[in-house]
Amino acid sequence: MTKIVAANFKTNHTKKTTKSYLESLEKKLLASDKIYIFPTPIALCENNFKHLKVGTQNAYPILNGAFTGEVGLESLKELDIKTILIGHSERRNILGESQKFCAEKFDFFAKEDFEIIYCVGEDISIREKGVENVKKFIKTQFENIPVQYPKLIIAYEPIWAIGSGMSASAEQIQQTHSFIKEISPAPVLYGGSVNIKNIAEILNIQEVDGVLVGSASLNIDSFYKIIQEARNK
């Protein structure tokens, strides 16, 4: 199975720098690569690349309407964007998106035949209570989520590892991915301080089907090195 490599730019890069990045990266990619890029919403562009897919970090589950500051399906359709991130911890914890709302989003975009990268992960207080508590918490993040959805990709991102420079250990990743694979047959990505120093070790874990990369994706050279490592696996 080809390893999946996804980049979440979060609130980084402009429309101009995103366009340059995507055009440059496209030239380096192979037909066998499975690459997803999630730019900041204002930098979304037409999804007309051959070797990568442009997705949206967020959207409101509506065609259009009175939802200030949100992106609707109508705008995504115009750009031919059919991939979305749902459930990222920053949206859950900073912006207050509940499990109920994540499930509503999932249902709406699944009915529109989107590829969905669905994010789950625990904070440090839960991790410190042990593996069984981690499993119990992650299970709650699948409430009302159709885990058999054929266009589902799951991203396991321990919150305590995101942006901290401290990745989960190989044993922690293996244990958690194995548990998630008992819940759903979908591919499972790892995210949380993935970089060029730890990518080989992470991708060597049998249960890891790819990675969701944050800060290490902002520089095209470092991100391409991660892609090259994925090809080797």
Residues with catalytic roles = 88, 157
Task: Label residues 146-178 b or e (16+ Cβ within 10 Å = b).
Answer: eeebeebbbbbbbbbbbeeeebbeeebbbbbbe
Alpha-carbon torsion angle 154, 2, 223, 199, nearest 10: 80
**Residue 217 annotated as binding site:** no
Rounded CA separation 63/46 (Å): 18
CA 230 to chain centre: 16
Residue 180 token pair:
């998630």
Of 68, 142, 53, 81, the residue nearest 106 (C-alpha): 142
**Residue 48 annotated as binding site:** no
**Residue 8 annotated as binding site:** yes
Rounded CA separation 213/33 (Å): 15
User: What strand order describes the sheet that includes 115-120?
Assistant: 52-54, 34-38, 4-8, 210-213, 188-191, 152-156, 115-120, 83-86
Which residue numbers belong to the known binding site for substrate?
A: 8-10, 163, 193
Which residue numbers belong to the known binding site?
A: 8-10, 163, 193
